[in-house]
């Protein structure tokens, strides 16, 4: 059996003096591996790869979902960058939003997971639930719209007026000066989600013997331990968390829409993803929406490559 | 006191521990707001729900909202148990398929070396970054070509290939399963499937338990949107949304529904987390 199985990279080094097999032979030898990935790959090709390729094709067409798409070449992309002022505002907002929420949510996920991991199992499970609560409780972030309600009955306005810090209510979710900071605050509050859980599970999987050996080798405090032992052991999960933060912060839309409404003042909280949904779901300009998706995709891929380069420096 | 809360570990200072406790305490108070708010809201009588200025905590708790909800549900045209059954069916089948297909592929992608492996790995990471809003139309065409429109398969089968699961499983197998262990199992004559099922999967139990929470939560909140038309096929969130959309007088019932809908993932989460803690206590198997 084992001769037909593709060997892991470590084992393949043994047969150095043998002539390397041709691609076809290697593929034939790997049939078990292909069997393992077959169910997933079949579905993935049909429900993800194919639709994505079709959408990229749509981005070069005018497609209103009623008539067949007509080819317009780079038209959508030219319109995006040369004629669509709102898109440029959205790009500026998205970059600002992502530059703050992306790294901050990432560090929050890791720091909270790291701290929680120091605790006894029962306390840890309870705190994990409390920190994960904003992500698990669906639309419970509506509570923020009550706190930042714009009249004197809003929780925050009422308190500030009571203490005499302001003399009239602040229009939190309508005033362009306040909208973005509030959206960022609420997003960060909801950001202890997938990566947080993955970090906790990952930290628990690190063998205690690693730390004991480290202590003997002269690790003095928790910060040295973090940099030289924990972070290198967590590198795979750190990349996972980075991708979650990138996709989360660049594709933010629904929280912003529900906080500041579908038509925010001066487009102060209008993001690229909202622009995309506006053209795709409201105006039925699928070609244009696809072009936005492609631009957003390329931006995220670029950011991911950059972050990967930074993460490779960990523990050195 | 502090020794009882935190795990005994080397290289830790007392001052740092106290700092961490204060930090975690403040964070927990801030983060638990939605839970506290939703629980309070569900037990508020109508006059407190419409109180202005709104009050955070309930003053005269009542079960009225829940009894109202029961009455409304019993009057439903399709029995409420049917919606519940639909939701459970979608969640369970979708979750099983996702974990199985994802972990099978994750094992091969992590521990086998075969032509095309790099390409597949890259495609999976890239797919996480493409906005799904624009792939809805091609997906609808595929599903309708397969004849799955207005069946539960339209929701269940696409969930089997959610790449998040595979990517998560692959990361855990990379980090937690030593190559030497797999080699040893092969030398003992274990087939590849046995290596996967009896060596790899038990070690990465925390990974698939975490994945179960994430997939459960995603599927539990799905309404079936553009694919399910027949009333008897719709899911619990759809039915409960219909009830709470019944106007301003349904505010109390809506609060009860919110609490009910979020309590199910929370219960799953608690059971699940206790299992993760158990495995960690006993296995002692770590990354090398």
A259 has pLDDT over 90: no
Provide φ and ψ at A285, rounded to 5°: -105, 80
Same domain, A152 and A208: yes
Asked if the model's pLDDT at residue A74 lies above 80, the reply is yes
Q: Of A11, A28, A58, at which residue does a domain stop?
A: A58
Which pLDDT does position A145 carry in this prediction? 81
Residues A131 and A205 in one domain: yes
- In percent, how much of chain B has pLDDT > 90? 31
- Judge if A146 and A265 occupy the same domain: yes
What fold characterizes domain B73-283?
A: MetI-like fold (1.10.3720)
Closest CA to B13 of A123, A222, A117, A115: A222
Model pLDDT, residue A45: 93
Do residue A109 and residue A230 come from a single domain?
yes
Smallest CA-to-CA distance from A205 within A70, A126, A113 is with: A113
Q: Is A63 within the bounds of a domain?
A: no
Give the per-residue pLDDT at B288: 34
Each domain of chain B, given as residue ranges in start order, spans 2-61, 73-283
B20-44: per-residue pLDDT in tens? 888 888 888 888 877 888 888 888 8
Nearest-CA distance B230 → chain A (Å): 23
Sign of the Cα torsion A142, A144, A149, A154 reads positive
Domain coverage including residue A26: 1-58
Return the pLDDT at B11: 59
Which residues does A217 contact at the CB level (< 8 Å), separation at least 6? none
Neighbours of B71 (CB within 10 A): 10
CATH number of the domain at A103, please.
1.10.3720.10
% chain A with pLDDT above 70: 92
Q: CB-hemisphere CA count at 13 Å for A271?
A: 25
Q: Quick one: pLDDT at residue A3?
A: 42
- Do residues B50 and B234 touch, judged by C-beta distance below 8 A? no
What's the pLDDT score for residue A122?
79
Q: Does A3 touch chain B (CB under 8 A)?
A: no
Query: Taking CB atoms and an 8 Å limit, are A240 and B125 in contact across chains?
Result: no
Q: Is position A195 within any domain?
A: yes
Co-location of A2 and A83 in the same domain: no
At residue B205's C-alpha, the angle toward residues A118 and B163, to 5°, is 105
Question: What pLDDT shows up at residue A242?
Answer: 92
Q: Which of B36, B41, B130, B181 to mutate to test the interface with A (most CBs of A within 10 A)?
A: B130
pLDDT tens digits along B189-247: 989 999 999 999 998 888 899 999 999 988 988 887 778 888 888 888 888 778 777 76
pLDDT of residue B231: 82
Q: What is the pLDDT of residues A261-301, one digit of tens each?
A: 888 888 889 999 999 999 988 888 999 999 999 999 999 99
User: What is chain A's length?
Assistant: 316
How many domains are there within chain A?
Answer: 2
Distance of CA B52 to the CA centre of its chain: 36
In this prediction, residues A70-92 reach a mean pLDDT of 92
With a cut of 0.90, is the ipTM above it? Answer: no
Q: Is residue A190 part of a domain?
A: yes
On whether both A48 and A85 belong to a single domain, the answer is no
Q: For B53-95, what is each residue's pLDDT tens digit?
A: 667 788 888 888 888 888 887 877 778 888 889 999 999 999 9
Distance CA A55, CA B137 (A): 9
Rounded-to-integer distance, Cα A31 and Cα B138, Å: 31
Chain B residue numbers touching A9 (CB-CB < 8 A): 113
Q: Which residue out of A1, A24, A26, A33 would a mutagenesis test of the B interface target, given it has the greatest number of B Cβ atoms within 10 Å?
A: A33
**Predicted pLDDT of residue B287:** 39
Same domain, A48 and A119: no
Give Cα separations from A9 to A31, A136, A218, B49, B181 (angstroms): 17, 40, 33, 63, 14
Nearest-5° Cα angle at B181, B178 to B183 = 110
Quote the pLDDT of residue B7.
Answer: 60
A124 touches chain B (CB under 8 A): yes
CB contact under 8 A, A280 and B4: no
Q: A51 to chain B, minimum CA–CA distance in Å?
A: 5
Whether A1 is covered by a domain: the verdict is: yes
pLDDT category at B283 given cuts 50, 70, 90 is very low
Minimum mean pLDDT range among A208-212, A300-304, B191-195 = A208-212
């Amino acid at each position: 059996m084992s001769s037909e199985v593709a060997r892991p990279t470590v084992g393949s080094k043994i047969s150095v003096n043998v002539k390397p097999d041709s691609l076809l032979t290697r593929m034939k030898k790997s049939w078990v591996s292909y069997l393992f990935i077959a169910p997933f790959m079949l579905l993935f090709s049909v429900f993800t790869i194919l639709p994505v390729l079709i959408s990229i094709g749509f981005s070069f067409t005018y497609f209103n979902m009623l008539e067949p798409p007509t080819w317009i070449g780079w038209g959508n992309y030219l319109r995006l960058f040369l004629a669509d002022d709102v898109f440029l505002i959205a790009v500026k907002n998205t970059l600002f939003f992502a530059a703050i929420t992306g790294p901050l949510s990432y560090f929050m996920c890791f720091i909270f997971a790291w701290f929680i991991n120091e605790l006894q199992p029962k306390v840890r499970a309870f705190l994990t639930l409390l920190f994960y609560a904003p992500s698990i409780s669906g639309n419970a972030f509506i509570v923020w719209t009550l706190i930042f309600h714009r009249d004197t009955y809003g929780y925050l306005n009422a308190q500030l007026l009571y203490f005499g810090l302001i003399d009239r209510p602040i229009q939190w979710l309508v005033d362009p000066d306040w909208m973005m900071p509030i959206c960022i605050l609420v997003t960060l509050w909801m950001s202890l989600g997938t990566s947080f859980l993955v970090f906790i599970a990952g930290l628990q999987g690190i063998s205690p013997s690693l730390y004991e050996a480290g202590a003997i080798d002269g690790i003095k405090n928790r910060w040295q331990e973090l940099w030289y032992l924990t972070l290198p052991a967590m590198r795979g999960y750190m990349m996972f968390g980075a991708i979650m933060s990138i996709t989360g912060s660049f594709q933010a839309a629904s929280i912003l829409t529900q906080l500041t409404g579908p038509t925010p003042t001066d487009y102060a909280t209008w993001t690229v993803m909202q622009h995309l949904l506006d053209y795709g779901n409201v105006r039925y300009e699928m070609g244009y929406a696809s072009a936005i998706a492609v631009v957003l995709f390329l931006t995220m891929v670029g950011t991911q490559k950059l972050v990967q380069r930074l993460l490779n420096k960990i523990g050195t | 006191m502090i020794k009882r809360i935190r795990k005994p570990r080397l290289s830790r200072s007392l001052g740092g521990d106290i700092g961490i406790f204060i930090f975690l305490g403040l964070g927990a108070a801030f983060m638990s707001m939605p839970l506290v708010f939703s629980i309070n809201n569900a037990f508020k009588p109508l006059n407190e729900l419409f109180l202005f200025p709104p009050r955070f905590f309930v003053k005269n708790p009542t079960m009225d909202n829940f009894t109202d909800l029961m009455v409304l549900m019993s009057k439903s045209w399709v029995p409420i148990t049917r919606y519940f059954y639909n939701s459970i069916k979608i969640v369970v089948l979708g979750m099983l398929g996702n974990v199985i297909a994802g972990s099978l592929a994750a094992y091969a992608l992590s521990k086998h070396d075969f032509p095309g492996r790099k390409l597949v790995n890259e495609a999976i990471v890239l797919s996480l970054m493409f906005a799904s809003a624009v792939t809805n139309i091609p997906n609808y065409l595929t599903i309708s070509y397969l004849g799955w429109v207005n069946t539960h398969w339209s929701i269940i089968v696409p969930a089997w290939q959610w790449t998040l699961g595979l990517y998560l499983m692959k990361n855990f197998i990379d980090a937690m399963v030593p190559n030497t262990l797999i080699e040893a199992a092969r030398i003992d004559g274990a087939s590849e499937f046995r290596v996967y099922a009896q060596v790899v999967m038990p070690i990465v139990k925390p990974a698939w338990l975490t994945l179960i929470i994430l997939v459960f939560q995603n599927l539990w909140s799905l309404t079936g949107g553009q694919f399910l038309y027949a009333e008897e096929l719709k899911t619990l969130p759809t039915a409960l949304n219909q009830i709470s959309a019944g106007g301003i007088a349904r505010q109390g019932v809506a609060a009860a529904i919110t609490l009910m809908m979020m309590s199910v993932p929370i219960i799953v989460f608690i059971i699940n987390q206790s299992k993760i803690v158990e495995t960690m206590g006993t296995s002692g198997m770590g990354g090398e």
